[in-house]
Amino acid sequence: MMSFSRRLLDWYSKNRRPLPWRDTTSPYHIWLSEIILQQTRVEQGIGYYLRFAEAFPDINSLSAATEEQILLLWQGLGYYTRARNLHAAAKEITQNRRDAFPQTSNEWIKIRGVGPYTAAAIASIAFREPVPAIDGNVYRIFSRLLAVEESIDSQKGKRIIHDIAVKLIDRNDPGAFNQALMDFGSLVCKPVNPDCQRCIFNNECHAYALKTVSDYPRRKQKKANRKRFFNYFFIYFQTLDGNPRFCIQQRKNEDIWKHLHEWPLIETQKAVEESTELLSTGFLKDCFPGGNGFTLMGAPLRMRHQLTHQSIFAVIYIIRAEPSFEKKIKKYFRLVQRDEFDELAKPRLIENACQKINAFLNSATSI
């Protein structure tokens, strides 16, 4: 019988997805694609990869870019730590390694933002190191194929899958083997509604024989989702040219969206029922003593934004401030106009809310 790896590679030669980073062995472009694809669907990642490859065609141009340029191009992809790590790693490679890329997975894993899977993927594809790149697709395929009862969240479960992959990997073309598993998991052995009838391994798949495919891979209980309540304040000053200026700030701490730009924010432990509770607290109390100097414009906007383990419930209050309060407010926040804000990196939540804010401003200035 033909070996597992040969059958898989034969399937891959006929069914592989035509991805823009597939026809290169350039470690730079393979590394770039792998970082972008972390926690990202391939369909979404393609556009970002093409834009990054065009803006920064080599590691020197990426290293020379500013963080603001990187974050702006990354905007909307989420998990912004990846972008900052990518930038830091580019500087590390150009400055400390004299542009020399690591060639083994053990070397790659020392690079900022590169974990075991990414290290193995780059080393196997760019340098043909016979090391398995194990992601969710691989865990799913082998868990079902052999009905592995150990949780893939456990060290024992991970070791079992790793040992299986090491035994089966094609040593002549490990990069193609790893990419074939990725495509097979995405196209056939899918998380939901797997195409078992078309699976080339269904005759020996234990889970298929037992009719328990949906039960694999085994997992521990999922991490609880955290709810957060963000109260944003879009504070603007009307101008004679009809292009209002408004307050923004840059996130500084180690929380989500580090270094991205947003409107002034008060985070609360629960949803706030009455706006008066907020309008007389924090920076608003200092900026508008006695509750004077501003007008609350209509009902607040309400939005929800879902992250991997966090649900953000956002309320956006639109506030028109009186010109005489500008000097006091500028002690706390930066004032920008719409075209300036467009050039700054911001969370997807803010980006989506901007459409509604702009619609409001257009209607307000036309009155």
CATH number for position 140: 1.10.1670.10
Q: 334 has which bridge partners?
A: 248
pLDDT, residue 132, reads 97
**pLDDT band with cut points at 50, 70 and 90 for residue 364:** low
Q: How far apart are CA 150 and CA 210, in angstroms?
A: 17
pLDDT, residue 367, reads 42
Instruction: Please tell me whether residues 160 and 201 are part of one structural domain.
Output: yes
Arithmetic mean of pLDDT, 108-115:
95
Q: What's the count of helices (H) and strands (E) in the chain, helices before strands?
A: 17, 8
Q: Calculate the average pLDDT of the chain.
A: 92
Q: Which amino acid is at 291?
A: G
- The answer to whether residue 1 scores a pLDDT higher than 50 is no
Arithmetic mean of pLDDT, 43-52:
96
Active site residue 34: yes
The tally of domains found in the chain comes to 3
Q: What tokens does 143 get?
A: 């868990």
| Helix H or strand E segment including 153 | none
Instruction: Please tell me whether residues 316 and 340 are part of one structural domain.
Output: yes
Q: 196 lies in a domain?
A: yes
Instruction: Please tell me whether residues 211 and 319 are part of one structural domain.
Output: no
User: How many Å from the N-terminal Cα to the C-terminal Cα in the chain?
Assistant: 78
For residue 323, whether the previous peptide bond is cis, meaning omega lies within 30 degrees of 0, is: no
Q: Say which CATH number the domain at 120 has.
A: 1.10.340.30
Q: CB under 8 Å, gap of 24 or more: what pairs does 63-70 form?
A: 63/87, 63/90, 63/91, 63/93, 63/94, 63/95, 67/259, 68/344, 68/345
**pLDDT band with cut points at 50, 70 and 90 for residue 280:** confident
C-alpha closest to that of 181 among 194, 169, 171: 169
Q: 198 lies in a domain?
A: yes
Instruction: Please tell me whether residues 281 and 310 are part of one structural domain.
Output: yes
Q: What is the pLDDT of residues 225-238, one digit of tens each?
A: 899 999 999 999 98
CA-to-CA separations, 215 to 70, 143, 211, in angstroms, rounded: 41, 10, 9
Max CA distance (Å), the chain:
83
Q: What tokens does 241 get?
A: 């040219």
- The answer to whether residue 296 scores a pLDDT higher than 80 is yes
pLDDT, residue 365, reads 56
Arithmetic mean of pLDDT, 192-217:
95
Instruction: Please tell me whether residues 104 and 19 are part of one structural domain.
Output: yes
Instruction: Please tell me whether residues 204 and 261 are part of one structural domain.
Output: no
SS3 21: coil
Instruction: Please tell me whether residues 30 and 70 are part of one structural domain.
Output: yes
Q: 179 lies in a domain?
A: no
Q: How much is the pTM?
A: 0.81
- The answer to whether residue 308 scores a pLDDT higher than 70 is yes
Instruction: Please tell me whether residues 312 and 353 are part of one structural domain.
Output: yes
Structural domain of 257: 226-365
Segments of 124-242 assigned E as strands: 226-237
Q: Greater confidence, 155 or 290?
A: 155
Instruction: Please tell me whether residues 42 and 155 are part of one structural domain.
Output: no
Q: 158 lies in a domain?
A: yes
Q: 181 lies in a domain?
A: no
Q: 56 lies in a domain?
A: yes
Segments of 151-273 assigned E as strands: 226-237, 245-250, 261-262, 265-268
Q: Say which CATH number the domain at 238 has.
A: 3.90.79.10
Q: DSSP secondary structure string, 272-306?
A: -S-THHHHTSHHHHHHSGGG-SEEE-SSPEEEEEE
Instruction: Please tell me whether residues 56 and 144 are part of one structural domain.
Output: no
Q: 176 lies in a domain?
A: no
Using the 3D structure, point to which of 113, 129, 145 is the last residue of a domain: 129
Instruction: Please tell me whether residues 43 and 139 are part of one structural domain.
Output: no
Instruction: Please tell me whether residues 50 and 154 are part of one structural domain.
Output: no
| Residue of 34, 267, 326, 343 marked active site | 34
Arithmetic mean of pLDDT, 110-137:
96
Q: What is the pLDDT of residues 67-108, one digit of tens each?
A: 999 999 999 998 899 999 999 999 999 998 877 899 999 999
Q: How far apart are CA 84 and CA 107, in angstroms?
A: 20
Among the residue ranges 65-69, 275-279, 283-287, the one predicted with the least confidence is 275-279
Task: Determine the distance from the C-alpha atom of residue 151 to the mean position of all C-alpha atoms in its chain, rounded to a whole number.
Answer: 25
Segments of 168-272 assigned E as strands: 226-237, 245-250, 261-262, 265-268
Arithmetic mean of pLDDT, 201-206:
95
Task: Determine the distance from the C-alpha atom of residue 359 to the mean position of all C-alpha atoms in its chain, rounded to a whole number.
Answer: 28
Q: 183 lies in a domain?
A: no
- The answer to whether residue 2 scores a pLDDT higher than 70 is no
**pLDDT band with cut points at 50, 70 and 90 for residue 366:** very low
